[in-house]
Amino acid sequence: MKYFKILIILLLSTQVFSQSGMFKIMTYNIHHGADADDQLTIDAMRKYIKRSGASIVGLQEVDSVCERSGKMDEPKILARGSKLKSYFTRHFPFQGGAYGQALLTKCKVLKVENKTIPVYPESEGKSVSMLLADISIDRDLVITVAVVHLDYRNKSSRQQQIDLVINLLQKIVHPVILLGDFNAFHNSEEIDILRQEFTLFPIANDAYTFPAKNPDRRIDFIFISKNAPFKVITEKIDSVPYSDHLPLIATIKFFRDE
């Protein structure tokens, strides 16, 4: 009897998600699981992510068993207790572990890829990861989620990275949600380039994501494919002090073929 009760609950939760056509997606630079004062806040982050109700969470600046964060597997810890599964892609080895990006999701993941994005000039031999995941949102809809963290140092490097990201994403057959820390202001040339290819929800100009204490700029964004079978209904930025960035959450509605 207990088995059947659990099965019924799971079926009903899936049905509600499908009928409503609504889901939440988050982007959050977690500063290796530490706040602006470099105090570890990973458990507070985990509880916040669970409370948010997000079905898809893209994370930047993630440690996986690194010394500075106590050898914790941060993606797995952040997914704990939320019915989320975790996926990690590595920028580079770091302090006995790896530093990179992560995806947490309640949805069925069909494929995860780690695409290498050079840090320009390429002569320096540095690169970062772009996490690409094909996710089944509904029986009729597969999307690709791309998680990025662009170069903070200079505009030229970011523009070249954006050109490469766009080139890679143009080859994808599914609708795309591109999210992350772009290290560029909302009115910058870099973001304008992305606006030509993707839709950016019109949020208030003073809706800032960085720094977490007294934020004065927005450098974290969620873009969606133009002509995608879904749209952003709302976006919000939560003022939680667990990282040096603030998380951005979008509520998205998809439209099923009847």
110 half-sphere exposure, CB direction, 13 A CA radius? 12
Assign 205 a pLDDT band (cuts: 50, 70, 90).
Answer: low
Q: How many CB atoms lie within 10 A of CB 137?
A: 26
Give phi and psi for 99, each to the nearest 5: -120, 130
Q: How far apart are the first and last CA of the chain?
A: 35
Give 129-144 pLDDT, tens digit per residue.
Answer: 999 999 998 877 899 9
DSSP letter for 31, please.
G
Structure token digits, residue 140: 């009729």
Q: How far apart are CA 143 and CA 158, in angstroms?
A: 25
Residues in the chain: 258
Comparing C-alpha atoms, which of 235, 234, 246, 171 is closest to residue 208? 246
User: Looking at the domain covering 24-254, what would its CATH class be?
Assistant: alpha beta
Amino acid, single-letter form, for residue 103: L
56-64 and 22-29 as β-strands: parallel, antiparallel, unpaired?
A: parallel
Average pLDDT over residues 182-195: 95
pLDDT in tens, 25-62: 999 999 999 999 999 999 999 999 999 999 999 999 99
What is the residue type of 212?
Answer: A
Task: Give the C-alpha separation, 155 to 190, whole Å.
Answer: 8
Which range has the worst mean pLDDT, 19-23, 70-74, 168-172, 188-192?
19-23
